[in-house]
Amino acid sequence: MTRSLLALTATFLGLSFVQAQDTSLHDFLVDGEDWKEAASGFAFTDGLCVDAAGNLFFTDVRGGKGIYKIDVTTGATSLALDNLPGISGLQIGPDGRFYACHNKGQRIIAISPTGEVEELAKEVKCNDLVVTKKGYIYFTETPTKRIHVITPDKQTRVADEGNVTKPNGITVSADEQTLVVSDYGGKHVWTWQIQADGSLTGAEPYMTMELPLGKEEAAGDGSTTDEKGRFFVTTELGVQIFDPTGRLSGIIAKPVPGGKVVSVEFGGADHQTLFVASGDKIFSRKLQTPGHFGK
């Protein structure tokens, strides 16, 4: 059985499968744990991010009012910040503010905990972003095949152009020395080395995503990193996990067979709960290793 057929079969059956690598899903999953519904009643969830306490924040791109929160203690969902519709990418920066791809307004904004908005870049068709601990903001602009960087002194420049067919999800390695971008229109996850001035060098199609049977695009979307340097990428087949060397370790099947997963992040009090945005819902499941962000 080919790897693609194995992936398709596993996804159809709602199962998680293991690749023949040095690590397997047994190194990630917790026995007896499966996907659980964490929030529902939305139109199109996206933009997962987490704070230091493990509270999860997300957006509803198509029907939402702003930024929503899943409380780490109670599990209750509430509207954390109002009057901010149309946000896709979202992350909390080292200064405690939300940084967002305001897709509807074609701009990058920073939002204080009390709702004050600062515009950092405008007239950009932004999709997703990541903020480093040094304060560099990288964001993808899918239609133009560009990756931009906003420096700590608020200068915006093109960091890469043309390498990725449809640059989408974006994250950094655990040591924050490597930028990682998924290609929604291909089969690779790309990497660059982050230089001291925030520029990027050494573009490389470092990871190869498993493809659905008969397709040439993996639909690589949202991504995140765990504390051991492994990469989690949402795709048409599910959440694909890669080790630091770029090898595929396995795929966690989607919570809803036939549905989509477009964003992924670790949360919870110990940061060991993996959350995914899937259509009108947010799902979660316990894993063995904590995530990198929010701590």
Nearest Cα neighbor of 140 from 108, 93, 178 is 108
**Residue 82 domain-assigned (yes or no):** yes
Q: Please count the other Cβ atoms lying within 10 Å of the Cβ belonging to residue 153.
A: 6
Bridge-partner residues for 156, per DSSP? 150
Residues 10 and 16: beta-carbon distance below 8 Å:
yes
- pTM beyond 0.85: the answer is yes
The whole-angstrom separation of Cα 199 and Cα 220 is 24
In a domain, 295, yes or no: no
Q: What is the pLDDT of residue 7?
A: 38
Three-state DSSP class for residue 14: coil
Pairing of strands 77-81, 137-141: unpaired
pLDDT at 295: 64
**Residue 293 placed within a domain:** no
For 64, residues 6+ apart whose C-beta sits below 8 A from its C-beta are 42, 43, 85, 87
Confirm whether 174 is domain-assigned: yes
In a domain, 292, yes or no: no
- 59 is a domain residue: yes
- Would residue 32 count as lying in a domain? yes
Q: Centre a 10 Å sphere on the Cβ of residue 157 and count the other Cβ atoms it contains.
A: 10
Sort 162 into a burial class: Cβ within 10 Å, 0-12 / 13-18 / 19+.
exposed
Q: Which residues of 130-149 are buried (b: 16+ CB within 10 A; e: fewer)?
A: bbbeebbbbbbbbeebbbbb
pLDDT of residue 21: 44
Longest dimension (CA), the chain: 55
Quote the number of domains for the chain.
1
Q: What is the pLDDT along the chain (295 residues), one digit of tens a residue?
A: 333 333 333 333 333 333 334 567 888 999 999 999 999 999 999 999 999 999 999 999 998 899 999 999 999 999 999 999 999 999 999 999 999 999 889 999 999 999 999 999 999 999 999 999 999 999 999 999 999 999 999 999 999 999 999 999 999 999 999 999 999 999 999 999 999 999 999 999 999 999 999 999 999 999 999 999 999 999 999 999 999 999 999 999 999 999 999 999 999 999 999 999 999 999 999 999 999 987 6
Q: Residue ranges of the alpha helices (H) in the chain?
A: 3-12
| Beta-carbon count within 10 A of 112 CB | 13
For 97, 146, 163, the CA distances from 166, given in Å and listed in that order, are 28, 9, 9
Sign of the C-alpha dihedral, residues 167, 169, 175, 176? Answer: positive
Is 294 within the bounds of a domain? no
User: What is the domain extent for residue 182?
Assistant: 3-286
Residue 50 per-residue DSSP state: E
pLDDT, residue 4, reads 36
User: What does the pLDDT read at residue 26?
Assistant: 84
Say which CATH number the domain at 71 has.
Answer: 2.120.10.30
Cross-strand bridge partners of residue 61: none
d(CA 269, CA 225): 17
CA 118 to chain centre: 23
The whole-number pLDDT of residue 188 equals 99
